[in-house]
């Protein structure tokens, strides 16, 4: 298995890669967060038969696909969880109604924390779970010192031939993006300081450029996926984001390169780069690239405490036929300051 490890302040992370989910996922967890989707990767976790979960939270989104994939995948995941979990809680709602669904997620999580009476072991399937909820939950758990371990599972994607990214086609979301602060990752920006943006870039460069134009940053750096999940993806990503690099005159030493699928390696690369200038700038992280890179930004923000992590909220989501590539990742993140036998009091937020 490929491995990377990194420690920043009170968090320590390690990544592992394998060609089967069951190789990575086993053991007991107090809480899990999953989100069925039309994306076929959401079913990958169901082969991990050695998992045991006390409470599983399942996000059920109203948006459906015409082929019935989402309904089929939801049924398969719920059937699996009935075997692996003691309690299964379903939270239904609109994927873009962020506040209402987040409050339900955190209310369920705090109930588990209080019932457990000790720091939790938590599992999150990041493959198809929106970053707003997954990163928000991770930040809340570590921020309240209520998790000793968060394990994040991620299945790399393979796109159907007619869905592969094209220079003038961005099929992943509908309409323009609105940058929204993720719960517990709102940072402490100072309006008197300059605005510094770190952007994890992906295929939707034009929409990312519009987000930056609205925010009007004073300085921009990039977290770039290299190597990519496919050999040709770094070149495509560079092509789609060339306008950003040229417009903001981003020098090469402000472009941090890290493997697209390895969140811990990306977190380490950000740590070594030390892009932030906290004495003169307020830092904002924009998650436009891969989900592992979004996780890397969130972990750095949790440890630094002051950066704001932004979620790109689209006007809607469009169907794209996505399958697992056969490469799977596990990121184990431990809070070194927390005993597994106790936790601090929490309140809903």
Tell me the per-residue pLDDT of 145-165, one tens digit each, with 9 for 90 and over: 999 999 999 999 987 655 444
Compute the half-sphere exposure of residue 95: CA atoms within 13 Å on the CB side of its CA: 23
Q: What is the mean pLDDT of residues 241-251?
A: 97
pTM of the model: 0.93
What pLDDT, on a 0 to 100 scale, did the predictor assign at position 66?
77
Confidence band, pLDDT 50/70/90 cuts, at residue 175: low
Residues 6+ apart with CB under 8 A from 329: 15, 16, 17, 24, 153, 154, 155, 156, 261, 262, 263, 292
Residue 35: is its pLDDT beyond 50? yes
Residues 6+ apart with CB under 8 A from 249: none
Residue with the larger pLDDT of the pair 346 and 334: 334
What is the share, in percent, of the chain residues with pLDDT greater than 90? 81
Rounded distance, CA 7 to CA 73, Å? 36
Domains of the chain: 3-160+321-335 (3.40.50), 173-317 (3.40.50.11700)
Rounded distance, CA 70 to CA 73, Å? 5
- pLDDT, one tens digit per residue, over 200-241 is 999 989 999 999 999 999 999 999 999 999 999 999 999 999
């Amino acid at each position: 298995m490929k491995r990377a490890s990194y420690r920043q302040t009170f968090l320590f992370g390690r990544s592992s890669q394998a060609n089967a989910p069951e190789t990575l996922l086993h053991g007991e967890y107090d809480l899990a967060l999953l989100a069925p989707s039309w994306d076929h990767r959401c079913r990958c976790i169901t082969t991990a038969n050695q998992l045991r979960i006390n409470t599983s939270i399942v996000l059920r989104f109203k948006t459906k696909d015409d082929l019935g994939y989402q309904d089929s995948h939801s049924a398969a995941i719920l059937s699996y969880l009935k075997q692996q979990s003691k309690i299964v809680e379903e939270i239904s709602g609109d994927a873009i109604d962020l506040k209402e669904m987040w409050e339900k997620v955190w209310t369920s999580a705090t109930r588990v924390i209080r019932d457990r009476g000790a720091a939790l072991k938590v599992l999150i399937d990041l493959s198809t779970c929106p970053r707003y909820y997954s990163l928000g939950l991770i930040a809340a758990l570590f921020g309240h010192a209520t998790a000793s371990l968060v394990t994040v599972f991620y299945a790399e994607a393979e796109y159907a031939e007619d869905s592969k990214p094209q220079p003038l086609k961005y099929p992943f979301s509908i309409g323009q993006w609105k940058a929204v602060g993720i719960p517990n990752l709102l940072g402490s920006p100072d309006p008197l300081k300059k605005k510094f943006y770190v952007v994890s870039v992906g295929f939707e460069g034009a929409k990312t450029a519009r987000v930056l134009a609205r925010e009007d940053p004073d300085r921009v750096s990039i977290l770039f996926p290299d190597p990519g999940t496919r050999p040709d993806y770094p070149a495509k990503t560079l092509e789609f984001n060339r306008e950003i690099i040229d417009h903001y005159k981003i020098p090469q030493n402000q472009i941090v390169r890290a493997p697209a699928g390895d969140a811990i390696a990306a977190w380490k690369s950000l740590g070594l780069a030390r892009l932030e200038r906290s004495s003169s700038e307020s830092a904002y992280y924009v998650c436009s690239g891969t989900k592992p890179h979004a996780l890397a930004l969130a972990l750095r923000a949790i440890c630094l405490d002051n950066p704001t992590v932004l979620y790109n909220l689209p006007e809607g989501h469009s169907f794209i036929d996505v399958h697992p590539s056969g490469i799977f990742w596990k990121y184990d993140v431990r809070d070194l300051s927390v005993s597994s036998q106790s936790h601090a009091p929490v309140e809903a937020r």
